[in-house]
Amino acid sequence: MSKVAYYPGCSGQGTSLEYDRSTRAVCAAVGLELVDVPDWSCCGSSPAHTVNHVLSAALSARNLDLAHSLGLDVVATPCPSCLTNLRNAALEMEDEAFRDTVNALLDRPCAGRVDPQSVLQVLVEQVGVDEVARRVTRPLTGLRVACYYGCIMNRPPERMRFDDHENPMAMDRLMEAAGAEVAPFPLKVECCGASFGVPRGDIVARLSGKLLDAARGLGVDAVVTACPLCQMNLDLRQSQINAALREHFRIPVFYYTQLLGLALDVPRSELGLDRLCVDPRLALGKIKAPAPVR
Amino acid sequence: MRIGVFICHCGSNIAGTVDVAAVARAAAKFPDVAYATDTMYACSEPGQEGIVQAVQELQLDGVVVASCTPRMHEPTFRRTVERAGINRYFFEMANIREHVSWIGKNTERNTAKAIELVRMAVEKLRRNRPLIPKRFDVVKRVLIIGGGVAGIQAALDCADGGQEVVLVEREQSIGGKMAKLDKTFPTIDCSSCVLGPKMVDVGQHPKITLHTLAEIESVSGYVGNFQVTIRKKARFVDWSKCTGCGLCMEKCPSRKAPDPFNEGLCTAPSINIPFPQAIPKKAAINPDTCIMKQKGKCGLCAKICPVKCIDFDQQDELVTVDVGAIVVATGYDLFDWHKYPQYGQGRYPDVITSLQYERLLSASGPTGGHIKRPSDGKEPKTVVFIQCVGSRDRSVDRPYCSGFCCMYTAKQAILTKDHIPDSQSYVFYMDIRSPGKGYDEFTRRAMEEYGAQYVRGRVSMIYPKGDQLVVRGADTLAGTQVEVAADLVVLAVGAEAARGAVALGEKLRVVPDQYGFFVESHPKLKPVETNTAGVFLAGACQGPKDIPASVGQGSAAAAKVLALLSKDQLESDPQVSRVTPARCVGCGKCVQTCPFGAIKLVEDRFGNPKAEVVETVCQGCGICTVTCPQGAIQLEHFTDNQILAEVNALCPPRIRVNYAS
Ligand code: SF4
Ligand code: SF4
């Protein structure tokens, strides 16, 4: 069984509780052991690095060090934003001078190296799509989805070093493994408006609206995401978008772990489907309830 | 020995940072120097006259000129001293421009370095020997590699000039990229109507031997006497019998393979004549798709052929020809735009290349000249052209400008409006580069008369929406993002070196630049020559070129060939290696090491093995001289004692050794 350090990130404690829980459940179901980073702290998310690179790196460096103390060489996080911060810090700390300024801020200098990866990457690279497919017992046959990766999951490519930065396929392949029909979603790496939600709702409405429009054009039953912020913009704000654009979108927006969980026959209580704002029942009804594979 | 030394000012090029008068004063004191002076432009007429006069009046028997690179003027000054009556190898050059004044700013140090370089030249000259070139016969035949428009032009000009021409083309027909074009800029005349008659001329010219479906296997020899082996690929049809009736093509049941002539827009049968105007108009079988070749069954074409010329067992054939000169006209290839993930990497059928669009426009193309989108055959109303795909883009390692894309895009925008009057074209461009005759007027016409919308900015992504493609880019003039809903997107793909160019260059000893285009001898003064004597360049193999430039260069290369082949004999360079038989122990190390195969082992009259240099093949590289353990091979004009004398001039040995002995 593979084993990686796990950094849940703050959103997993609040806005995307269901992402964290379903991630844990899915990893357990495919035989991936997640070891929580002890005493982890916030990575600073989007504000910190816009203010001070050293401080931002220090926040991540502390977590990297704690992950390293577990004796594991990969730390996985479900959230692309946390991933960006951890990866940036890990890469920039390779520069000795920078590492020294960062370490000066820490109680304990950050020792050793751990490789931050998204849970998605770990699932695809360490567990493997075939292995996931093998464990699927309730395939999502009949469900047509569009996978939406968001703009930072794979970019910048020289930093993230996973999948294709213009046409990533990791989630598509996992969803196919889960038995869903995956529509080729041309806007899969477009920005949803990200953290503009509070200051400029109009921008989010325009950008996220475009994504929902493209998804509707593909005739999908649901959008699948891997990012708490993307999910929030598309799901929680869907009614705001409808109001702003005079639209009538009703597209449920799942975390890919929620749908994987269904396919792997994880108890529904672990998946938090009731926390979605757009009612997913219509979409889930599309799944041709098959006899369990085994 | 009486030596004259001439220090050139080269205007301010040298005199600006070298005290030339001081160099001359110092040179006057070197051994054997009878005369030293500085001169304004040594290469100019008065400059050369000054040298001639000095030689004659002062009875000099050697000359040193300190000026620019010998690559520029060594032949000039050699002729000068010969005119003055001394052997041309009693001339030495010191490069005090590239090696001194252009790279240093400190006059004092520059002057000191210049003096040292002159001292080296003088010491070498003191040990020079007269060399007399040999003469050899020239083979009056030229090989032209590549049957595109540049190669065709060179072939016709050479043949009309009375020389025998062997034209080798790797495709089945000559015509190259131009044969695929619909119309040409800036005159909008029909490409195949201009090129077709020339292709026919090539096919019919009594002096031209055409080998298509053929490649260069190997090249040996030297200017005036090249031996070239050509591999004629098996075509599985006896071309001496095939009449080009095309019956076989109609009956061939295997027609799934993409048609290369139509850029993959349609399919072609396995036995095929690429296009109606093909020269030679003969059928050939593609063994990769032919059912008979793959599975051993079928043979329908053999049954149907009225002249029974199908031969499934045909083998490649090797032909060797002797030629006196070679013209390389291998052209270019299109950049593989699949390196741009943001343009879909081939996922969207309605994103096509400019050359594919050209086939759609062409009356002999797969749609009979009607613009239809590949996905559903609908006529597009909004066409977006994206320029600089694989040009001027460092991220894909193509920082250079391909030169002709601005023009063909304007042409295609004009033709689009002609074909579909209610259509609208958009052109995303970076700059418009249209410096040729009538070119700028042409692009303006596309904008002003034909209403093409020009948007300055790169396209960031293309994605499908419904049955359209959304093209999103920046308008850097307006400072906004733009999105255009297009029915068809045409990528103006840039040019890159033809596949296999580097390997061919190795055989011809022609150097490619870092992008695979062949390097000319001098960018301004020798644009069609290469550094290998007797090998010339024409067309886009030297860098992206449009049709007028390619034709111009084809003619230029032909002129060079005709000048070369007009001589019955050429002089061989006497700066070759020579073996001292008494020292040679016949170990054969030099034979193995010579990259040109210029040394062979012979037996002397006592039966001992001895090395012998074939003078005409030797390139004077000197590798053998450093290989020989006995010091039995010396390179004329660069003998050990000459080179050591130079070294000693620079760093004098504590004990004086007289190398002159
Ligand atoms: S191979 Fe035979 S049938 Fe085909 S074009 Fe030649 S002559 Fe005609
Ligand atoms: S100098 Fe020597 S190695 Fe070079 S080409 Fe001549 S014989 Fe060959």
> At residue B660, does pLDDT exceed 60?
no
pLDDT on residue B573 = 86
List, for residues A192-249, the tens digit of each pLDDT value: 998 888 889 999 999 999 999 999 999 999 999 999 999 999 999 999 999 999 999 9
Of A165, A167, A186, the CB nearest to B464: A186
From chain B, the residues in CB contact with A209 under 8 A are none
Token pair 């003055």 is found at: B84
pLDDT band, residue B173 (cuts 50/70/90): very high
Averaged pLDDT, B513-537: 93
The kind and range of the H/E element at B233 are none
pLDDT computed for residue B4 by the predictor: 96
The chain-wide mean pLDDT, for chain B, equals 94
- For ligand 2, is residue B599 a contact (CB within 6 Å)? yes
Answer whether residue B47 shows pLDDT above 70: yes
Name the token pair of B343. Answer: 């343009």
Question: Is A165 an 8 Å CB contact of chain B?
Answer: yes
Identify whether the C-beta of residue B600 lies closer than 8 Å to the C-beta of residue B592: no
Cβ of B594 closer than 6 Å to ligand 2, yes or no, is yes
Q: Which range has the worst mean pLDDT, A43-47, B436-440, B572-576?
A: A43-47
What's the pLDDT tens digit per position in A145-156? 999 999 999 999
Determine the residue among A166, A207, A218 to mutate to test chain B binding: the one whose Cβ has the most chain B Cβ atoms within 10 Å: A166
pLDDT at B259 over 70: yes
B267-326 pLDDT per residue, tens: 999 999 999 999 999 999 999 999 999 998 898 999 999 999 999 999 999 999 999 999
Q: Which tokens in the block code for residue B181? A: 């074009």
B466, closest residue in chain A (CA to CA): A217
Please report how the helices A238-245 and A201-217 are oriented relative to each other, as an axis angle in degrees rounded to 10: 90
Structure tokens at B580: 């001292």
Contacts of B645 (CB under 8 A, 6+ apart): B123, B124, B126, B127, B659, B660
The ligand with the least distance to the CA atom of B304 is 1
| Beta-bridge mates of residue B272 | B284
Q: Look at A214 and B461 and tell me if their CB atoms are within 8 Å.
A: no
**Chain B residues in contact with chain A using a Cβ-Cβ cutoff of 8 Å:** 341-342, 345, 347, 461, 463-466
Which tens digit of pLDDT belongs to each residue from A42-65?
Answer: 998 878 888 888 999 999 999 999
Mean local confidence (pLDDT), A132-141: 94
Q: How confident is the model at residue A292 (pLDDT cuts 50, 70, 90)?
A: low
CA dist list (Å): A69 to A101, A122, B51: 21, 20, 83
Cα distance between residue A279 and residue A140, in whole Å: 18
pLDDT in tens, B365-418: 999 999 999 999 999 999 999 999 999 999 999 999 999 999 999 999 999 999
What distance lies between CA A81 and its chain's CA centroid?
9
Which of B241, B245, B252 gets mutated to test ligand 1 (max ligand atoms within 8 A of its CB)?
Answer: B245
Is B293:B314 a contact under the CB 8 Å cutoff? no
Measured from the CA of B237, which atom of ligand 1 is nearest? 1
- When pLDDT is cut at 50, 70 and 90, the band that residue B39 belongs to is very high
Q: What is the largest CA-CA distance in chain B?
A: 91
* pLDDT for residue A259: 96
Task: State the pTM of this model.
Answer: 0.82
What's the whole-number mean pLDDT along residues A86-110? 91
Percent of chain B with pLDDT over 70: 99
Asked if residue B449 has pLDDT above 60, the reply is yes
Say whether the ipTM exceeds 0.90: no
Q: Residue B71's pLDDT is what?
A: 83
Does residue B544 surpass a pLDDT of 60? yes
Q: Which of B459, B460, B465 to mutate to test the interface with A (most CBs of A within 10 A)?
A: B465
When CB atoms are compared, the residue of B342, B463, B466 closest to A187 is B463
pLDDT reading at B1 higher than 80: yes
Q: Tell me the CA distances in angstroms from A136 to A19, A129, A226, A266, one per residue in order.
A: 19, 11, 20, 10
Most informative mutation of B596, B601, B637, B639 for ligand 2 (most atoms within 8 A of CB): B596
Chain A hits for B347, Cβ within 8 Å: 167, 184
Ligand 1 centroid to Cα of residue A102, in Å, is: 78
Q: Under a CB-based contact definition with an 8 Å cutoff, are residues A238 and A214 in contact? A: no
The token pair that represents B551 in the structure block: 């034709």
Separation of CA B194 and ligand 1 centre (Å): 27
Q: What Rg do the C-alpha atoms of chain B give, in angstroms?
A: 31
Q: Which residues of A205-216 are buried (b: 16+ CB within 10 A; e: fewer)?
A: bebbbbbbbbbb
Phi then psi dihedrals of residue A4, to 5 deg: -135, 155
Most A CBs within 10 A among B347, B463, B471, B489, hence the mutation to make, goes to B463
At A291 the pLDDT is 55
Q: What is the mean pLDDT of residues B41-51?
A: 95
Q: CB burial class (10 A; 0-12, 13-18, 19+) of residue B445?
A: middle
Contact list, B341 vs chain A (CB under 8 Å): 164-167
Cross-chain residue pair A167–B341, CB shorter than 8 Å: yes
Q: Whose CA is nearest to atom 6 of ligand 1?
A: B242
Tell me the average pLDDT of chain A.
92
- 3-state SS of B506-566? HHHCCCECCCCCECCCECCCECCECCCCCEEECHHHHCCCCHHHHHHHHHHHHHHHHHHHC
Q: How high is the pLDDT of residue A290? A: 58
State yes or no: pLDDT of A79 exceeds 90.
yes
DSSP state of B339: G
